[in-house]
Chain A
Amino acid sequence: MAGLAASFGSGAMSNSMDDVAQQAKAFFIIGSNTTEQHPVFGTMLRRAVRFRGAKLVVADPRRIDITEFATLHLRQKPGTDIALVNGLMNIILEKGWEDKAFIEERCENFDEFKATVMNYPPEKVSEITGVPVEQLYEAAQIIAENKPTAVIWAMGITQHISGVRNVMDLANFQMLLGYMGKPGGGVNPLRGQNNVQGACDMGGLPNVYPAYQPVTSEEAQAKFQKAWGATSNLKVGAVVTEMMPGILEGRTHALYILGEDPVMSDPDTHHIRKALEAIDFLVLQEIFPSETSAYADVLLPGVSFAEKTGTFTNTERRVQMVRKAIPTQGDARDDWWITSEIAKRILAATPQRVQPEAPFAGWEYRDASAIMDEINVVTPSYAGITHARLEKGERLQWPCPAKDHPGTPILHTKALSRGKGRFMPIDHVPPAEEPTEDYPFVLSTGRVLYHWHGGQMTRRAKGLLEIYSEALIELNPDDAARLGLNGKNRVRVTSRRGSIEAQAWVTDRVPPGMVYANFHFPEASANELTIAALDPVSKIPEYKVAAVKVELVR
């Protein structure tokens, strides 16, 4: 969440789900198919709309399920979010609805930002986004009058080449209206997988140590050198979307992958397969053979969540226990044990690397709670979060800097983490790939309610597969008629990178000219088609826009 970090100094969801659902006067959902991707939070929002009369503005090219509850649905063209948000802010300034006191006291760089927004008058924005001018005014009014409005987004905002800038623009939006640091307001990015938040918090990123301590900082480096007795250099490492091409370019020679399936989840599958074929050594730690395991040299059986003890951190920074319910299956081992054993072997062979007197030089962990004890010492925001406290039933959201600290449900209540919130002038940039004569459709990708990610778990859950048993391509009825589907429903979707065949689901969920596909099924995975165009800062690929052609399979 590089965008939020730049604006406020923290990249996590600023409020809690419960707080948002109970306190917000209105919701502005942009790029989140909430009821399918975060279903229980989706139902909390549905309840707020139905029983509390909260207003709901949804901006999404597709008629996703939650639009049923929307006061207003804006159907912007894919990849035009910045223009849309700038257009709304332009109207807010025109009408004088901004929170002048908040801007004055708690923000900076307003004038430069304002100059940019002035370039987005409603008529121009309507042209770029395809949203009628009246709807822009209506949306701005709903959001400005219902104080506070919570902004909620997910991958529909981040998975663009402009993802980081999209996020910064939403931060601008909430500062402009003074909706930061208030119950029911804030910026609320919903994290996809169960523990994305925790993986980031724990330093599972190339640019930061645990708790976002930058690897480029000498101070942070010295701290970890002291704690661990050895650490890495000051250079930011490679992200996954750089490691993979690095194989073919001779930069990456070995990969250690824990519980991920890049063949299914990374963009441009064909290219990933080529890269993995060429790697010198790939060790994969997984519970099932996967599309990726076909390329692995060693496969180490880890365990499912039902067999492990530890913690997950949810999208609202809440740290919760995962408890072992059943014995480890077969000869599988705890994932933390496997990692420790590899570490011990390497250190035994090269003992000179580590200063042995450092307090956490070693890898002898009794259990997961002992690992958490070490995390407490080196991770300021987790300093007070122990298994013992969680087992006592305490409810803790980070930052929790001490053993007697109650945790922090809402961020930025007094001041924004970086002191003053910084307005960022953001301009619209068109997506990397736009429709052409040969590839006239826009493809967008994502998940469906009944499946998860690469589908390794949900395709092995019988009932889920029964309800949603194969990849479906959403296609507008007008397009279906034009393609002569005429009751037949098998289509081939082709991009410049690959081609898939699947059943069409003819539905007006998608507007004419757009198709939507998921990546749950290897035989027709959307990532055969997606483009590896990356956001320059976050390196997130543009899953949400690619140009494709659609043909009837005869």
Chain B
Amino acid sequence: MVNIKINNQSVQAEQGQTILDVARSHGLDIPTLCYHKDLSPTGNCRMCVVEVKGGRFLSAACVTSVWEGMEIQTHSEKVMKDRKLTLEMMLANHPQDCITCDVSGECELQDLAYEYKAVAPSWGTKGTRYPVDSDPNPFIRVDMNRCILCRRCVEACAEIQVRDVWGVAKRGFDEVIVAGAGTSMLEARCESCGQCVAYCPTGALSNKMNYGMARAHQVKKVTTTCAYCGVGCQFDLLVKNDKVIGVQSNPDAPVNGMALCVKGRYGYDYIHHPDRVKKPRVRRYLLDGGKKNREGSPWDWVETEWETALDITAKKLMEARDNYGADSIGVLTSAKCTNEENYLMNKLARQVLGTNNIDHCARL
């Protein structure tokens, strides 16, 4: 235990904790951009600077450990000025077009610029250095003009996905984030998991599938569980006008945290695919009362009301049971469906039909 003072208040902290950890655990807000709790701190963006008594320079709170007797100011005039300057340096080379930017409203740079009343200086490039939408990846939209060089994408890919697609090239004003040795993402062995997008604080990396489809405040988020593999990742479905328009990481997901794979994050567009069956269908012969005939028009689909389709189904299942016994019916339940649905299929087979002929594709 060490005793320190933050903003003149005495607090106790663990040995080895950073100033940022201690401050946040006491509900004090120190702004960050490059820092993310899941990633190694790098201290390179300088947003989290604080004043430490006796120090010649401001210290980055995310990488500075506390020591006995440390006295910290998190919002002194000097600190506030420095942070504002940092933001203005970023804005000098950042597009000034939040009005059309996809992530406006959930952009960490925008929020801080607003909070610190930072304005873009008259000098700088205003984000005209790189081609917009510069990578052919089908899911990820790259616009390096919006990049603030925080390196979260580099770390997300290296530390969460362990794939090392992103790197930093050149130095100084020309410093830029590149995939591989300046190739496309897929050429640099990207797995399209979207981790880098999820951790990007700005619109530099965004999602192609729903680009321009909704602002953060226009979507409803519904936390649910992935329907592909058995890992059981959770995420938020983004819903606008009763349509699923995207998937977003939910940091509280028990198994996966922010991580998802390409199917979970980007494999959702089948939900609204025009092929969806939207009305019950029965073969024409069933309505005509004829015998089963798999040729020509008796085999045509006819859309019906639920009553008709359910009546026919029940009648046909009973027919099989009455003519050949319950064990002439097979029930295939689904490893894609819920527990509740599977339970009912088991109950239907055993209680209603009286057979143990129930299985699913677990073996397959």
Q: Is the interface of A mostly helix, strand, loop or mixed?
A: mixed
B362, A192: Cβ atoms closer than 8 Å: yes
CA distance A253 to B263 in the complex (A): 37
CA distance A38 to B264 in the complex (A): 11
Least CB distance, A193 to chain B, in whole angstroms:
4
B346, A158: Cβ atoms closer than 8 Å: no
CA distance A50 to B157 in the complex (A): 13
CA distance A457 to B344 in the complex (A): 24
CA distance A345 to B275 in the complex (A): 29
B162 at the interface (CB under 8 A from A): yes
Q: B interface, how many residues as a size bin?
A: 35 or more
B227, A205: Cβ atoms closer than 8 Å: no
Pick from B193, B255, B353: contact of A18, CB below 8 A: B255
Pick from B255, B271, B353, B360: contact of A260, CB below 8 A: B360
CA distance A240 to B280 in the complex (A): 25
CA distance A229 to B318 in the complex (A): 19
Best-buried of A50, A339, A450 by chain B (most CB within 10 Å): A339
B130 at the interface (CB under 8 A from A): no
How many A-B residue pairs lie within 8 Å, measured between CB atoms? Answer: 477
Q: Which residues on the A side are within 8 Å of B1 (C-beta)?
A: none
Pick from A215, A306, A336: contact of B237, CB below 8 A: A306
B226, A194: Cβ atoms closer than 8 Å: yes
B333, A204: Cβ atoms closer than 8 Å: yes
Q: Which residues on the B side are within 8 Å of A40 (C-beta)?
A: 231, 233, 255-256, 259-261, 264
Q: Which of A255-300 contact B (CB under 8 A)?
A: 255-260, 262, 265-266, 277, 280-281, 283, 286-289, 297-300
Q: Which residues on the A side are within 8 Å of B339 (C-beta)?
A: 195, 198, 201-202, 310-313, 319, 372, 375, 382
Binds A, one of B15-23, B66-74, B112-120, B303-311: B303-311
A402 at the interface (CB under 8 A from B): no
B232 at the interface (CB under 8 A from A): yes
B229, A283: Cβ atoms closer than 8 Å: no
Binds B, one of A82-90, A170-178, A536-544: A536-544
- Residues 177-194 of B, flagged 1 when their CB comes within 8 A of A and 0 if not, give 000000000100001110
A305, B276: Cβ atoms closer than 8 Å: no
CA distance A70 to B360 in the complex (A): 34
B314 at the interface (CB under 8 A from A): yes
A458, B335: Cβ atoms closer than 8 Å: no
CA distance A333 to B139 in the complex (A): 31
Known A339-B344, A452-B263; contact A322-B225, beta-carbon cutoff 8 A: yes
A205, B358: Cβ atoms closer than 8 Å: yes
CA distance A515 to B277 in the complex (A): 36
- Residues 328-364 of B, flagged 1 when their CB comes within 8 A of A and 0 if not, give 1111111111111111111111111111111111111
Known A193-B230, A320-B225; contact A299-B277, beta-carbon cutoff 8 A: yes
Known A235-B356, A246-B330, A461-B266; contact A371-B345, beta-carbon cutoff 8 A: no
Q: Which residues on the A side are within 8 Å of B318 (C-beta)?
A: 346, 349-350
A325 at the interface (CB under 8 A from B): yes
Q: Which of B150-180 contact A (CB under 8 A)?
A: 159-162
Least CB distance, A536 to chain B, in whole angstroms:
13
CA distance A462 to B209 in the complex (A): 9
Binds B, one of A22-30, A123-131, A463-471, A476-484: A463-471
A149 at the interface (CB under 8 A from B): no
CA distance A204 to B358 in the complex (A): 6
A258, B279: Cβ atoms closer than 8 Å: no
A436 at the interface (CB under 8 A from B): no
B344: nearest residue on chain A (CB-CB)? Answer: A339
Q: Which residues on the B side are within 8 Å of A452 (C-beta)?
A: 228-229, 263, 267
B129 at the interface (CB under 8 A from A): no
CA distance A430 to B335 in the complex (A): 30
A368, B338: Cβ atoms closer than 8 Å: yes
Least CB distance, A402 to chain B, in whole angstroms:
18
CA distance A463 to B246 in the complex (A): 13
A342, B270: Cβ atoms closer than 8 Å: no
Q: Which of A378-408 contact B (CB under 8 A)?
A: 379, 382, 395
Pick from B191, B192, B331: contact of A256, CB below 8 A: B331
A340 at the interface (CB under 8 A from B): yes
A259, B336: Cβ atoms closer than 8 Å: yes
Q: Which residues on the A side are within 8 Å of B333 (C-beta)?
A: 199, 202, 204, 258
A71 at the interface (CB under 8 A from B): no
Least CB distance, B355 to chain A, in whole angstroms:
6
Q: Which residues on the B side are within 8 Å of A322 (C-beta)?
A: 224-225, 227, 338
B283 at the interface (CB under 8 A from A): yes
B230, A47: Cβ atoms closer than 8 Å: no
B267, A232: Cβ atoms closer than 8 Å: no
CA distance A309 to B309 in the complex (A): 24
Binds B, one of A206-214, A488-496, A501-509: A206-214
Pick from B242, B316, B350: contact of A326, CB below 8 A: B242
A224 at the interface (CB under 8 A from B): yes
Pick from A333, A339, A349: contact of B306, CB below 8 A: A333
B278 at the interface (CB under 8 A from A): yes
A206-B356, A283-B317, A452-B228 known; 8 other A-B pairs, CB under 8 Å? A17-B255, A195-B334, A206-B357, A230-B352, A254-B319, A254-B330, A311-B340, A345-B313
In the complex, 22 of the A-B residue pairs with CB atoms within 8 angstroms, ordered by the A residue number, are A40-B231, A46-B161, A69-B162, A192-B230, A195-B338, A204-B345, A204-B359, A209-B350, A233-B356, A235-B356, A238-B327, A255-B330, A256-B331, A260-B360, A280-B316, A312-B339, A313-B339, A321-B224, A325-B224, A336-B338, A450-B263, A460-B275
- Nearest first, the 6 A-B pairs at minimum CB distance are A330-B278, A314-B232, A237-B356, A310-B338, A39-B261, A345-B314
